Chain A
Amino acid sequence: MLSKSQARAFFLGGTGVFSLAFLGLTYDSHKQVPKQTNEDKLTEQVIRGKKIWEKNNCMGCHTLFGEGAYYAPELTKVVERRGKDWMRLFLKDPQAMFPGERKMTDYDFSDEQIEDVIAFFEWCGNVDLNGFPAKPPLGRVAAPIVTTGKSDVPQPELFKTICIACHSVGGVGGIVGPALDQVGTRIEREPMKDWIRDPQKIKPGTPMPQIPMTPEQLDEIVDYLQGLSNNQ
């Protein structure tokens, strides 16, 4: 049977060998990380974004590369998922975008800080993470589809990136606000425009946020929503 000195040799030898193996792999990883993470694209702006990420302990609620806390969404691919416009609006006033839902602290970011944070997420989103996060392999269990989701005009860019976060069309989109498939049958063009321009004025206390947009963008959205009801 094993003696105590043999047991000690097992401990010291094993620890030594595997520590060396670990250091060797660490050395190799260091050589490969610049390419795998696109370090050439690690600009000053990205680094400023990372500092903001750390300074506010964003990891205390969110995950990035799957690391952090599990109270708020995973953000590795957030730029791809939400688009920069949506993120700009959201970071200006986080609670306005998900009224009455789980809250994110409003950090009062400047426009420049918001661009820094977005640049940081964009860099993170392009790191080769060995396939994480994987695309969901099972189909989404869809909300009942009430319409074809077809309109006379194509879905405007603004609708695709912003409105869809809360509202759904054709069973696709958020559930915070009502589905908009048949909104055109209930609300006419002009009242619809007034509502989108300043929801608080029409219905004080409504959770619907005021989304900044040009008159042309507003026309596009209203055209699209009205067009939906012609295709039931």
Chain B
Amino acid sequence: MKFKTQKIAYWFFASALLLLVLQIVYGFIMGFAHMGYDGLHNIIPFNTARAVHTNLLLVWLLLGFMGSAYFIIPEEAERELAWPKLAYVQLISFLLVGVTAVVCYHMNIWEGRKFLEIPRPLDWLVVGNILLFLANIGWTIWNGKRFTTTSIVLYMGLLCAALLYLPGMIDFDNQTLDSFYRWWVVHLWVEGVWELIMGGILCFLLIKLTGVDREVVEKWLYIIVGLTFISGILGTGHHYYYIGVPHYWLIVGGIFSALEPLAFLGMAMYALAMAKKGGRKHPNKTALTWTLGCAIMAFVGAGFLGIAHTIPQVNMWTHGTLVTAMHGHLAFWGAYAMIVFAMIAYAMPLMTGRKLWDTNASTYGFWLSNIGMVAMTGAFAVAGISQVVLERRTGIDFMEVQKEIEPHFFGLVLAAGLFTIGILLFILNFIRYGRPTDEALNSDPADT
């Protein structure tokens, strides 16, 4: 840590991990409901659990991205954050909006559109909050001592994410158009501008951890994010196959989604190549493990499992089944959750001055959470494929099929247990680091 205001990231990371735990709790509620144990139905019906589960994911990932930006931007711009107090105000207000939304979901108050369930007045608060955040880091970059590609890519990603939130707030009477613009937010976030954010953070970590020349790392960053946008923008078409828009989306979406894994494959090869090329042996191996793990799992979850069901001929049968949940879990984990974890693992020793990166808790945390998530993906895959064959291909009634696949949810819950242990170990290690302190300034072993 080189600047005092980088410590702000700690509170964003701590809040993110707290919300992640809550997200997992709601995930278990749904897992048990799928097994037939829906005892909580009257208090927390499935649609509430589902909205809380997905929205908490978005909120904690955004908190993780913001925390990462508050850590990265001062270091890249070589100056303190412009308005540190504003960052705390922004954190607290963002959390309040998130908590209010979660409470609303328990009272049947929402907009009822997948992933964008939060009630309209709260939408505006989110927009205002993000503007505060962007102003703060934007002003820091603008008045910084240097402009770096890493900070510009990260900033552009965050700015576009804010802009793309707006189409989701337009009302349409036509369900088809409603869905069409909902994907402008959801798809262009997670398969577009969020990858800029991920790329920016990944780039920062690779520069710091491997010691490869900044110019080389950043050049390839441009290529990777270029591939992401070339494939990802028209790749939005894979959400447009069957919602009532023209047939050409099957061709456009099919071709460009087939290219989407290339961006992720590029990212994985890039991260591995840089790690191999780098002469520096940074002692924080855990951070490097999470960084490389992120690049690889993003390819497997988002790239490979993505194309496995965006081929139009396959999607005709898998669209709207648990196969989507299979892809969704590993994609979000690999691409976005793991990059936040990598950033936390990298930043914590620097903010607190303690070197707890190679403890048992951090090692087992990595492996158990990853093995657990892969096993969960497997359980979803078996349940999803069975559902496709029985319901979609054979025509057996939905509810009958759901009874058939209940055992796979037992497998899912077991795997989720393993995953949760991994996450708790990571959090245990996080707690053992203690609070950030100014004494940790200039403590990066790579700088000495």
Contact = CB atoms under 8 A, between A and B. Distances in A.
Nearest to B110: A57
B225 A54 contact: no
B41 A131 contact: no
A44 to B, nearest CB: 9
Nearest to B173: A47
A56 to B, nearest CB: 6
A2 to B, nearest CB: 7
Given A42-B173, A102-B402, A139-B394, A74 B320 contact: yes
A10 B222 contact: yes
B245 A29 contact: yes
Contacts of B249: 25, 29
A10 B33 CA distance: 48
B196 to A, nearest CB: 10
A3 B407 CA distance: 55
The B contact surface, by secondary structure, is helix
B122 to A, nearest CB: 15
Given A10-B223, A67-B114, A133 B392 contact: yes
B117 interface: yes
Contacts of B225: 11
Given A10-B226, A11-B223, A57-B47, A66 B242 contact: yes
Centre residue among B229, B248, B400 by max chain A CB count within 10 A: B229
Given A33-B245, A42-B173, A134-B316, A70 B48 contact: no
A98 B399 contact: yes
Contact of A55 (B112, B114, B402): B112
Interface stretch (B62-70, B176-184, B364-372, B423-431): B176-184
A33 B176 contact: yes
Interface string B15-30: 0000000000000001
A145 to B, nearest CB: 16
A129 B312 CA distance: 13
A29 B176 CA distance: 11
A201 interface: no
Contacts of A19: 229, 233
Interface in B200-246: 215, 218-220, 222-223, 225-227, 229-230, 233-234, 236-237, 240-246
A58 B112 contact: yes
Given A71-B50, A130-B242, A130-B250, A59 B394 contact: no
Contacts of B230: 14-15, 18
B252 A25 contact: yes
A19 B41 CA distance: 44
A138 to B, nearest CB: 5
Contacts of B226: 7, 10-11, 14-15
A134 B393 CA distance: 9
Centre residue among A28, A136, A139, A140 by max chain B CB count within 10 A: A136
A106 to B, nearest CB: 10
B363 interface: no
A137 B111 CA distance: 36
A146 interface: no
B38 interface: yes
Contacts of B38: 102-103
A143 to B, nearest CB: 10
B247 interface: yes
A36 B244 CA distance: 6
Nearest to B34: A71
B319 interface: yes
Interface residues of A, number: 72
A7 B47 CA distance: 45
B215 A29 contact: no
B246 A29 contact: yes
Contact of A136 (B41, B233, B247, B392): B392
Interface stretch (B76-84, B321-329, B411-419): B321-329
A136 B174 contact: no
A231 B4 CA distance: 88
B242 A29 contact: no
Interface in A53-101: 53-61, 63-74, 98, 101
Contacts of A11: 222-223, 225-226, 229
A147 to B, nearest CB: 20
A33 B112 contact: no
Interface of B: 30, 33-34, 36, 38, 41, 45-48, 50-51, 105, 108, 110-114, 117, 149, 173-177, 179-180, 215, 218-220, 222-223, 225-227, 229-230, 233-234, 236-237, 240-250, 252, 316-317, 319-322, 324-325, 387, 392-400, 402
Interface of A: 2-4, 7-8, 10-11, 14-15, 18-19, 21-22, 25-26, 28-30, 32-33, 36-37, 39, 42, 47, 50, 53-61, 63-74, 98, 101-103, 105, 120, 123-124, 127-141, 174-175
10 shortest interchain CB distances as A-B pairs: A60-B47, A66-B320, A136-B395, A132-B242, A54-B112, A11-B226, A7-B222, A57-B112, A66-B319, A63-B320
Given A37-B175, A58-B112, A60-B51, 14 more contacts: A4-B219, A14-B227, A18-B230, A19-B233, A22-B234, A57-B105, A59-B47, A61-B47, A69-B47, A70-B322, A70-B325, A72-B46, A73-B399, A103-B45
11 contacts: A8-B222, A22-B233, A33-B244, A39-B174, A57-B51, A61-B47, A69-B50, A101-B399, A102-B33, A103-B38, A141-B394
